């Protein structure tokens, strides 16, 4: 009697996709910004994808899209806990886990990668995201302005800046009603906006 065993070594990839106009440039596969992209996900979810030290992601242009391909880690306990399979039911179960754990979280993976590539200057919106992070982390502060963000990431980021000034009608020799009319007037708002933006405009000109 001859006994034969069939052992399968499976591989699977996740492909993140973006419209090409969301990118400033297409980095090459030799750049660390591409290699380290998979580690950005693994730092938050465990080594659910093969880390860059074992298999580096690949990025390329496909028609009007940018595709980033990363390898799924079958040895992660949420997937299969192993990469070799001897029985058909093991293979089928692993495929089901790929659907539920990887494919169903597509939006999550792409949001993390988008945030990562924006922070590293590869995608549009990097300047604004870095500004928001600087405000949130307390790196950027202002004595005159109250600046804050909504604390959310990616496209939902909002930054606000408020400036307060106390007007005393008596110091100006005006009644409260007259002062309110001036503050609500269109001419005052236009002039105020000009004064607030004057220093910023000068810095841009130089």
pTM (predicted TM-score): 0.60
The continuous run of DSSP H or E covering 94 comes out as helix 88-97
pLDDT at position 130, please? 66
pLDDT digits (tens, 9 = 90+) for 104-153: 889 999 999 998 998 888 887 656 666 666 767 777 666 667 767 666 55
Place of tokens 């980095």: 27
The Cα–Cα gap between 61 and 68 comes to: 9
Which residue bears the tokens 């290699």? Answer: 35
CA distances to 86, 117, 141, 181 from 79, rounded to whole Å, are: 16, 26, 44, 67
Strands 65-71 and 58-62: antiparallel
CA 136/CA 148 separation, integer angstroms? 7
Given a cut of 50, the residues of the chain with pLDDT beneath it are 1-5, 154-156
CB atoms within 10 A of CB 192: 13
- What pLDDT does residue 5 have? 45
The predicted structure's pLDDT at residue 38: 94
Tell which residue, 97, 136, 116, has the closest CA to residue 42.
116
pLDDT in the model for residue 136: 72
Cβ contacts of residue 37 below 8 Å, gap of 6+? 52, 57, 68, 70, 113, 116, 117
């Amino acid at each position: 009697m001859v006994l034969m065993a069939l052992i399968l070594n499976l591989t699977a990839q996740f492909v993140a996709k973006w419209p090409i106009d969301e990118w400033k440039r297409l980095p090459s596969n030799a750049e660390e910004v591409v290699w380290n992209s998979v580690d950005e996900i693994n730092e938050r979810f465990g080594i659910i994808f093969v880390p860059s030290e074992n298999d580096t992601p690949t990025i390329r242009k496909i028609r009007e899209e940018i595709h980033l391909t990363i390898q799924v880690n079958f040895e992660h306990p949420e997937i299969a806990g192993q990469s070799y399979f001897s029985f058909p039911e093991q293979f089928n179960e692993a495929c089901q886990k790929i659907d539920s754990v990887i494919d169903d979280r597509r939006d999550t993976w792409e949001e993390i990668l988008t945030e990562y590539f924006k922070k590293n200057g590869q995608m549009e919106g990097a300047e604004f995201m870095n500004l928001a992070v600087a405000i949130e982390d307390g790196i950027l502060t202002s004595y005159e302005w109250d600046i804050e963000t909504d604390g959310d990431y990616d496209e939902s980021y909002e930054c606000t800046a408020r400036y307060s000034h106390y007007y005393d009608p008596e110091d100006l020799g005006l009644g409260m009603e007259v002062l309110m009319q001036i503050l609500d007037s269109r001419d005052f708002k236009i002039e105020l906006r000009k004064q607030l933006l004057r220093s910023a405009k000068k810095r841009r000109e130089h």
